[in-house]
Structure 1
Amino acid sequence: MTNKIEQSAQEKRTAFVVIFTFCMMLAEIIVGLTSYSMALFADGVHMGSHVLVIGLNWGAYVLVRRLNSKDATQYDGDKILNLSAFTSGIFLVLMAVFIITEAIERLTSGSTIINYEFALGTAFVGLIANTISASVLHGHHGTTDYNSHAAYLHVLSDALTEIGAIIGLVCAMFWSITWIDSAVAVTSAIVVLRWAKRLLWDTGRALTKK
């Protein structure tokens, strides 16, 4: 069984990340709409998807805590957390497939970036926010269960995507190499798929273990 003190600590860390990401999402959407920046608005909407998924991880901790307080022995708290992590793994796969699809579409359509400076600024803001969230979720002793690890992977995958975007934008802005943006995005998505595969394998085994 996962230590209740560790569960409580991870619940608080996950709650912070959900609230912090939600605030960042609102800020980006509001500024994006008022400044007519679709790039910032789109990034805010993307953050919203992470609020939902990491919110699922937070909800699992809350549910387990309440069941433990009621001494509901018919429920296995670890199974609930593992199921939440498994669901997060599925969302990671969907996210990676979406990134690959978008990257291929942009590569074949030959679309160009209009405002490099603003796009870079947006990517840096997202990277800083995800770095803070990742450091909070990881804590001093790392992630202690699959559920917290799943939330950490979501934030880490977003940070990896932001780094890839920055590399692609810099290459396009200074050397007019536009295809690198899509190539880096696909590479990042493949890494995320590997993380998701491992998470699904580990949580799947844990869920089927008697």
Structure 2
Amino acid sequence: MGHGHGHGHGHVAAASASGRYVRGLAVALAVGAGFMVLEVVVGFATGSLALISDAAHMVTDVFGVGMALVAILLARRSGPTFSRTFGLYRAEVLAALANALLLFGVAGYVLVEAVGRISDPPEVPGLPVLLAAVAGLVANLVSFFVLRSGARESLNVRGAYLEVLADLVGSVGVLLSGLITLLTGWRYADPIIGVAIGLFVLPRTWTLARRALRILFQHAPHGVDVAAISAELAALPGVSDVHDLHVWTLTSGMEVASAHLTVRSAAEQPDVLAEAQNLLAERYAIEHATLQVEAPQSARRCQELTW
């Protein structure tokens, strides 16, 4: 029986995708924290629901980006041990899920508060809201461009990116609310735009939460056809059966697989192992694969397992 644990051939060892964007997260954190205080103070001073909504998003933005950054640093510094064989990379996914829960809470608060104000909207001064919205818009644009590329690769960075995106849209909404209030005095603009901000963020938050839960429940990575992987492994020369195939994501950019490959003769084991590792690395970008190549008599033991 042969065992193989490989990272492919001609490939750089897989690493957390989030770890490549520490600097961008740090910039976004610093910029967000600087403008967070301004929006919170002006929002409560003016009583603007739209600005309070955007300020709340800014608070969760700073907290969320901070969690994402801490999770990356924690995973980087706490390598695998005998008690934590995969290190602490899942901390990144937990941070993304926490970000989603925060956004759900903020959106719910804004919607409830807006409904209560529709019947008797308070008078909100337009100019302070407008100035605060412009400041928030500038801050969010900086963070948006800093995190945009990392959001395509890392679920953790994407969580922070969605926080910033929600804030960016919120700042535009607050800007419109301030302009309408300043130019027309229409008091319904503030609660209506507050509701719009809350509704905008909900579907994006649900997508983030669903992706984080897929990883935590060890579902197959999004877009990976496990049935096709099984068929291609079974089609390799010398392979008679593929079983106990598992493919999951440890954290963004770190896909992992394990499988048992039954071969017809012991002489074929080294070749089968090398071909299977190359297939997973080159066709599916799965660099971290643990493969057990076994004779038919050894494979019978697997049939006795119930899970």
| TM-score, length-scaled by structure 1 | 0.81
Moved more, 197-206 or 42-51: 42-51
1:109 aligns with 2:120: yes
Cα distance in 1 for residues equivalent to 2:15 and 2:39: 37
What CA deviation, in whole Å up to 9, does each residue of 1:74-123 have, x standing for no partner? 13554221111111111110111112122223323320113x11210111
Q: Secondary structure of the residue that 1:185 maps to in structure 2?
A: helix
Q: Does 1:65 align with 2:76?
A: yes
Cα 1:159–1:118 shift into 2, 3 Å: same
The corresponding residue for 1:156 is: 165
2:86, 2:35 → 1: CA distance?
A: 35
1:177 partner amino acid: W
What is the match of residue 137 of structure 1?
Answer: 147
Query: Match of 2:102?
Result: 91
In 2, distance between residues paired with 1:81 and 1:186? Answer: 30
State which of 29, 33, 40 in structure 2 corresponds to 1:22.
33
1:189: how far off?
A: 1.0
Q: CA RMSD in A?
A: 2.9
Q: 1:3 to 1:168 in 2, by over 3 A?
A: farther
CA apart distance, 1:65: 0.8
1:142 deviates by 4.4
Structure with more of its chain in strand, by fraction: 2
Classify the secondary structure of the residue corresponding to 1:4: coil
Q: Deviation per CA, 1:108-139, whole angstroms, max 9, x where unpaired?
A: 3320113x112101111001101111111113
Could you tell me how far apart the structure 1 residues matched to 2:88 and 2:21 are? 14
Identity %: 20
Q: 1:120 and 2:130 equivalent? A: yes
Measure the CA separation in 1 of the matches of 2:116 and 2:181.
17
Q: Is the 8 A contact 2:100 2:209 kept in 1?
A: yes
Contact 2:60–2:163 (CA under 8 A) maintained in structure 1: no
Mapped to 2, the partners of 1:45 and 1:117 lie a distance apart of: 16
User: What secondary structure, in the 3-state scheme, does the structure 2 residue paired with 1:100 have?
Assistant: helix
Partner of 1:206: 215
The aligned amino acid for 1:38 is: A
Stretches of structure 1 lacking an aligned partner (at least 5 in a row): none
What per-residue deviation string (whole Å, max 9, x for no partner) do you get for residues 149-169 of structure 1? 000011111111111112222
Deviation at 1:39, TM superposition (A): 4.5
Structure 2 CA distance for partners of 1:48 and 1:190, relative to 1, 3 Å: closer
Query: What is the CA–CA distance in structure 2 between the aligned matches of 1:5 and 1:64, rounded to whole Å?
Result: 9
Specify which structure has the higher proportion of helix.
1
CA contact (8 A) 1:39 1:122 kept: no
C-alpha distance in structure 2 between counterparts of 1:150 and 1:137, whole Å: 10
Q: Deviation of residue 45 (structure 1)?
A: 6.6
Alpha-carbon shift at residue 143 of structure 1 (Å): 3.3
Mark the runs of 5 or more structure 2 residues left unpaired by the alignment. Answer: 1-6, 8-12, 219-247, 249-307
Q: Does 1:38 align with 2:45?
A: yes
Aligned amino acid, residue 72 of structure 2: Y
Is the Cα contact below 8 Å between 1:120 and 1:166 reproduced in 2?
A: yes
